Each structure stands twice: as structure tokens, then as C-alpha cells.
Structure 1
Amino acid sequence: MIAKDVRERLAIILPLTFAFFLAWSFRLFGFRDAVLSVLTGTAPANVIPSPVSEAAFIQQAVLVEFPAPIDYSPIQEVCGRTPFRPGLVFTCEGQHGGIGMLRNQMLKCIRYAIHGGGALVVPSIALRNSKDLKDIETAIEMPLEYLLERETFKKYLTAGCPQMKIYDHVEDVPFYSQRQGQPLQLLGDQFEPDHPRTGLRHPRAWRQNFDGWLAKQDIHLQSERPVHIQMEQSFLEYPVRDDGDAFVHEFGKILSFRKDTRELAAKVLYELRTRFDLPIDPAVAINPGAYYGAHLRLESDAIWAWPPSEWRFSRMHDQFEEQYRNVKRTGLRTVYVASGNQTVVYMFADYLAKKLGSDVRVVTKQDLLQPDDMQRLAAMTFDQQALVDFMVMFKASAFMGVAHSSFPWNVALRRHELSRYAAYANEGSDLLRDEYSIIMGMAADYPYVDSFVTSIWP
């Protein structure tokens, strides 16, 4: 009886003791906020994290490239329903564009290779002309590591799609010297040339159409006589959500930005935190109440591609005004700007100062990096430097960009994974508007809106 009485008392006392300890942990150590930040992927607003060394800060920030670490299971599921076969290799050569479009084009090419059930050669990149930004398709071919991490790509894609063989060079493919004829060029939408702007109507019929196309050319796959398929670059035609939301969230994670650019972005975040006493926790994706991210698309190539006479938000005043209204709405006083035109940044800073007062700080990566890191940045090309801005924008408390550029769509769609909204426009009439990001304007504000929402993996 005594033992039973002790057990009954312990059954009452132990839970009460644990509850008391937990309650005081919540108050003394901010445990509640830590739990919430883990569950939501964001830090609590206006709470400055405990001080950490610069090295520890950078190490943590570099690791937060996506809202959550990669989950291979959705990729494995898609690859698992595809029969792979030897004697077939796909290449994604000379992919071109800014980082937003370039990255998506690579992912799309890889998705077609999965459909086809063949091996893959690590994609390559066409170098942009440094003297003419609109010339994005030069004959100079760069390896994947020009912008992205090669070994990470191979590791992640192998884990997600173990049936797919991956080669660094097409010549590494077994028996490639005995291949069947010359490489065959293929457009992703070649079998559905009349598809709507939202993308292919029947993406899962691609394999059947592809096999029929091969058969018409009297090609029979053989291990000792491989067939080389060169995927050409079509534009925003693949409906990414066909494979399900889980796949959409995970597939893009196989492409990771160069580590040195992520380190520079982490140093920018550290400087923002220390110089302006901002509540930036490097271990979480988005920190409320810290800084505003403004992507200004007013470089020479943008004005050439989307002339202001036809595109409202190619007009400097209209783009500035929309950003100003959003900065005012958020109440944030530190504005980080991404733009390839420094003169535009100065003009935007003057515009905000006149509208909101001189206490609004407008800064760029060039303003924040230390001299040694500035030298590293200056040695990088236009597109490599854009990776730094991408990562800083991804982690901004609020973000805004235009609808005719893939860069802000990539940023906003990646951030949207943390949103409590499923749809893209629950807080207003902008093309995308959630609690973290805005793609400014409505469809009526643009001559046409490309299918970024339906055709981009975040």
C-alpha cells in the first residue's frame, strides 16, 4: 500500500515539477520564441537574438539557403514511377539568362531527363557578355560551378533520383565514342507546340511522345551504342505543380548557390545586424522587424527588354512609388536594395528620403562589406554578384519586386513556402502578395505576364 501511495504521489508531483520548470524556461530563456521560430521558420518580431561571434553567425546563415533542408522523398517518388534505361543520355548545355531564369531552365531540363529515363550530364552555363548585359547567350560555355555547387548538385540529385546516372562530361558516358549518330536536339515543348501560356497540358504524356519520336527516327536504345539528346532552351512551358506541392518545394534544392556567394551574403547580414542593431537571427529564414528588401529592375538590359513606353513598371517613377508605398506600410527603416545600376540606387535613396525622412537607411552590399570582402565581390561577374543579393533578399523581413523579372519571382516563391496562405494573393490584388513578399501590380499593369507562377520551381 505504501509503495502504491508513493507511486500515485510521484505521478502527480513529477508532471507539476516539469510544468513549473517549463514555464520558467519560457520566461527566462525565451524558449517559447525558440519553439515558434522552429515551427514557422521565422524569428519573433523585434527580439534581438543573443550575441554570437561573427564566425558563428556566418556559419549558421550560410546553411539557411531554403526555408527547410531538402527532403528527398518527393523527388524519390517521382523518379520511382519512371522506368530508367541504359543507352540514353541528356545534356543541358549552354543554359542562359539571369540566375532566376537560368536556374529554372536547368531544373526543367533535368525534369525532362527524368521523364525520358536517361542519364544526365551536369548542366553548363552560357557566359553573359560583361560589356552588353542583354547579350546573355554568348558562345563561351562555363561549368556549373560558375554559379552553383557541382558536388552538392550531384550528391542531392543522386540521393533524390538514385536510378539516374550523372556524369561530369558527356565523354564520360560508357561507349560514348560508339554513340548512334550525332546528338539529337530537342525542345521541351516540341510535342505540344500549341500549349497555353500556363504550360504543357499533358506533361506526363511526355515520355510516351518522346519514345514515339525516337522510334520514328529508327533509334533503338543499346548500352553499347548510346543516344545523346541535347535539350534546347524553351521558355516557361513546364507546369511545375503537376508533380505536387511537395515536389515543387524540394526539387529546386538540388541546385545550391556557390558557397563563397552565400558567405558574402552572410557577411552582409552580419553587418546589417551589428551596424543597425537589427533583430537578425542567422539560424532562421526570415526575421520580422529587421530590414526591407527592394529589387529594382532598371538596368540597361531590363529597359531594352521591357521598354518603359509599354511597360508601366519599367518606368523609374512608377517602380519607385510602388516600393515607397510598401516601405511606408511596413514601417521598416532599413532598406536593402538589389540593383545592377548604382545610379538608380542613389536616386531611389533620395526619393525615399524626400518621402519618408532622412532616417531611412538605404544600403547595398557594396555599402556593407568590409574592404577584403569588397575585393572578393569586385572580382565576381554581374551574375555571380546577383547571388549575394538573392540570399539577402530571401531573408528580408519584407520584399518587393516587379512581375516581368524571374529574379523576384524566385525570391518571392521561395519565401512563400513559409506563408500561412496557400494562394498567392490573399492580402491584396497584386500578382503575388502574402505576409512576406509582394510582386507589384496586377495583370492589367503589364502588356503580358509570363507564367512565372506556374512554371518556376522556388
Structure 2
Amino acid sequence: MDNQIGNEPNNSAISFLCRQPNIKWQPDVVLDLDDANGGIGNVRGNIFDFLGLAILSGSSIVLPSFQSRSSTDLSALWNGKTPFSTFFDEDHFIATFAAACPKMNIYKPKGNHSLPLPLHNRYGMPSMRQDLYPDTRDTEKPNTPSAAVKDLQSWILAQPDRDPKNITLISVGRTLWEGLDTCSLPPAVRRDFGSSLRLIPEVRRLAALVTYNLALTYHLHDIDPRLPYYPSSFLGAHLRTENDAKNAGWLENATPSAHADFDGQTDAYLSQAVERNLQIIYVASGNTSEISKFAKKASLLHNITVTHKTALLSPTDLSTLQALSWDQQGLVDYEVLRRSSSFAGYAKSSFAFNIAITRNEFVDWNRESLWLMPGDRRREDLAFDDGVSRIWGRFEWQEERMLRGAWP
């Protein structure tokens, strides 16, 4: 658990963003992320976009919260706010930014402070991604970081209920991979800023136990927690066929190159395991019947063994896992999959895309993959392939935004 993927965050690398000479820190402006939602992939994207705006504008923040998912309907993502610590290590985050960005105050939502009510209007951050909106170049409102800061400043001055003698609290609407172009930043900044959102200790403890038992059960001798990934141990697969994916229409495309439904995804994942000569597949899925179905298919067709987190925990630790929410249980998979020998995911899933981008950064393999745009020449059935991770199927909207907008 003590070994994170990559190195421990280096505060001097993170402070590269916070100590830009053009930043004018204004402690009397406090931003509050109003409506982050989704699973780990989307929530990370919402928070990092928000943090980018806060730092560049010299603002303080309220520790971000986000909407919880319903325990009875996985498609229902607006089930009331849940705290930052539901997913992320709060102490680690606050300590990281206290050292790297000491001028950015972080207020806890229910802390001992006297923040005023937020301004009546909610602020909508414009995109900072000029690569997504090239037509705005050389206009009055280009999609650049500096233009986004000016937009916020102008917006604040135009608010009729602003009190210049008091702290201004602003509710900020979420954006998703519309913040800083991560590929424009030094690698150390990408890695360390991304590592500031470390998963909660209990999730990391369970992931460590799952990985240890995986190595012990299947005699996977090259699993070493000090490594960024395990070169020849197991394929990590994210099988995204749960009911919320079905309800969203993700599984309906029957075209073979889409790899959308159960057979499309599992055929692709098995072909990848065979190609990499990996006899063990660790599968992440919230649907136990689909896991069993995949295990039978893999054994029958290729004599490949499929396992999963609930099969690799003791009864006591399994009870601990089952006490977590559906999304928190998925975080255990997220942590395990990031170090798999080869990773396979589905293009509609930001969970899978986040894992692939993180692995690309820390394994340091074929970095050019992040510079590809959807129209670039590539296989019609692969959104991403850098040699250690494959994202099967295509989803151009997400490809455009995540490859240069998601943080590792």
C-alpha cells in the first residue's frame, strides 16, 4: 500500500503551476465545485479542471465534493453530495497543496470557518483547450488558460450581489477534460499533479491484499509493488456491461469493430491475452454473473483463468469490501488494474481511459499515443494502443478530450 504507481509527488513539480509569475493570488475569492458527478474517471476530470482554474486565477477553494450514485439504480448519479474523502485521501491532498500552493486556502465544506453564502449566479468555466476549438484562435475569447482567467475576473465584477469588502464565494459548474492541455506541461508536473488525488487508504489496503493473493494463488513471481507495472503476470480487463452502461445505450452497437456488448468486449480481451501470452486475466466488473460467464468462455476457448477481487480476499476482508459503495469497490479494481502486465478496456468508459493514460505516463511507453487525434490513421476498432494498454472500440468525443485533458 505504501508504494504508489510512479514516485511520490514532488511538491516542487506541482508548485511549477502555482508559482507562475502571472498568477495574482486573491485570498478573498473562493471557488466551490458545484456539481461534479459520475464514477472515478469523470470525478477526477471534474476536479482537475476545477483545480486548474483555481490555481491560474489565484483563488482559494472549498474542498471538492461530488454527487453520489444511487445504491439501487446505478444510472442515477444525482443522489446527494458525498464528501471528497469518499474516493480520495483528504489528508494527502491538503498536505500536498499546503506545501506546493501555500497561497491557495482550502476550506472544508463543514469546517470551522465563516464563509458567506455563494453568489446567486453560478459560474460556467469556458474551455481552456484551444486544440478542441481552433476557430476561436485570434478572437476576443480564445479558448486558452489566460482567456479563462480573464473571463472569471470579468464575471466576478459583473455580479450585482458581490461585496468587495468581503470574501466572494462562487459556485462553479463542472467541466470535463476542458481544462489545461496536459500534454503542454512537463512530465513531472503531469505526474505529480495527477498523483495529488490519491485513493483512500482502505481502498489501497484492499487492492494490496488482492494483488498479494493474486501473486500467491497463481505463482506470479514478477509481481513487485515497487514496479510501475508487472511485465508478464496478468491481463487486466475492465468488462463494462453493467446495467447503467446498458441503460446508456453503450452496448447496442452490434458492429464487430465496436466491441460494445459482452461478446465484443470479451472477444477483444481474450485476443489480447493470447497475443501477450498471458494465462491469467484479472477482470473488473460490477456484475458477478457476467464475470462467471467470461470465466467459462475464457477457459473453454483458450484455457485461460479469469479471476476477480472477491475471489482473492479473505472472508473478513471480503466483508470490508462489501460494506463499501459500488463505486468504492470499483476503486479497488482501479488500483489493481493500473499495474497489470497488459490492460484492456472499452472506449465508452472513462474509468478504463484513465487507467490507460496513467499507465502510459508512468510506464513511459510510446508517449506519442497521447498526441493522436480521432482522425489520425489508426485501427478502426482501437481508440488507444500504446503497447501496454488497449482501449477497444471508438468514441471520438472522449478520445478528443481525454488524451490531452485527463491527468495520469
TM range (shorter): 0.7 to 0.9
Deviation at 1:66, TM superposition (A): 2.5
Equivalent pairs counted in the alignment come to 388
Shift of 1:215: 2.1
| Cα drift, residue 238 of structure 1 | 2.2
Percent identity, please: 26
Unaligned ranges ≥5, structure 2: 137-141
Instruction: Quote the residue 1:453 is aligned against.
Output: 403
Q: Partner residue of 1:20?
A: none
Name the residue aligned to 1:291: 234
C-alpha spacing 1:159/1:367, structure 2 compared with 1 (3 Å): same
Structure 2 CA distance, aligned partners of 1:253 and 1:116?
22
Q: 1:213 to 1:337 in 2, by over 3 A?
A: same
* C-alpha contact 1:419 1:434 (8 A) present in aligned 2: no
> Match for 2:192 among 250, 265, 277?
250
Distance, in Å, in 2 between the alignment partners of 1:239 and 1:367 is 40
SS in 2 for 1:451: helix
Q: In the TM superposition, what is the alpha-carbon distance from 1:306 to its structure 2 partner?
A: 3.1
Corresponding position of 1:433: 385
Distance change in 2, residues 1:191/1:100 (3 Å): closer
Question: Would you say the 8 A contact 1:86–1:221 is kept in 2?
Answer: no
Q: Does 1:341 align with 2:295?
A: no
Contact map agreement 2:250 2:348 (CA 8 A) in 1: no
| 1:207 and 2:149 correspond | yes
2:120 aligned with 1:168, yes or no?
Answer: no
Check whether the contact 1:404–1:449 (CA below 8 A) recurs between aligned residues. no
Do residues 260 (structure 1) and 202 (structure 2) align?
yes
User: 2:17 matched to which residue of 1?
Assistant: 78
Work out whether residues 239 and 345 of structure 2, in 8 Å CA contact, stay in contact via their aligned partners in 1: yes
The alignment yields a C-alpha RMSD, in angstroms, of 2.8
Q: Distance in 2 between matches of 1:405 and 1:184?
A: 32
Deviation at 1:288, TM superposition (A): 1.2
Helix, strand or coil: the match of 2:252? coil
> Residues 25-424 of structure 1 correspond to what in structure 2 (within 5 A)?
62-81=1-20, 82-138=23-79, 140-169=80-109, 172-173=112-113, 176-177=115-116, 182-189=119-126, 196=133, 201-217=143-159, 222=164, 224-241=165-182, 244-246=185-187, 247-279=189-221, 280-310=223-253, 312-357=258-303, 360-417=304-361, 418-424=363-369
CA gap of 1:218–1:423, structure 2 versus 1, over 3 A, is same
Superposition deviation, residue 398 in structure 1:
0.8
* Cα deviation, residue 325, structure 1: 0.6
1:266 and 1:192 map into 2 onto residues whose CA distance is: 37
CA distance in structure 2 between the partners assigned to 1:337 and 1:428 by the alignment: 26
Q: 1:353 to 1:428 in 2, by over 3 A?
A: farther
SS at 2:293 equivalent? helix
TM-score (norm 2): 0.87
Instruction: Go from structure 1 to structure 2 and tell me whether the alpha carbon gap of 1:131 and 1:389 turns closer, same or farther (over 3 Å shift).
Output: same
Q: Distance in 2 between matches of 1:94 and 1:206?
A: 19
**Alpha-carbon shift at residue 349 of structure 1 (Å):** 1.2
Can you list the C-alpha shifts for 1:32-88, whole angstroms capped at 9, x where unaligned?
xxxxxxxxxxxxxxxxxxxxxxxxxxxxxx123322221222321221121111211
